Structure 1
Amino acid sequence: MDYDPFIEANNYEEDQAIKAEKRAQKQREKEEHVKRLEAKRASKLAEIEAKRDLLN
């Protein structure tokens, strides 16, 4: 039987660290996406406002 609890514990800790990094990366990607959407919305609103100013 090749069971070593220290190796198993180390593997578990490494797996948890990998999962935590993936969660953090996903959160960063979500935040980046929200920022891009906000910028796009602001740009579109500015464009609409500029067209409205030209028509008046």
Structure 2
Amino acid sequence: MYSGYFLGGVAFRAGLPVKRWALAGVLLGPVAFPLLNSHKQLAYRKAMGRHGRMIKI
């Protein structure tokens, strides 16, 4: 249950579908976290284009 809540929050901050990732967190648990990270990175690259840069604080 906690994984679903956590992944839902991360998905919301990343602009990804919250319900989908919350359900994946409930069903898969912590295994879904690397999947979320890869989808988050792909969505960022798609939005920024080929030469986008990420600023980490």
- TM-score, normalised relative to structure 2: 0.35
Larger Rg: 1
Higher RCO (Cα < 8 Å, 6 or more apart)? 2
Q: Which has the higher helix share?
A: 1
- TM-score, normalised relative to structure 1: 0.36
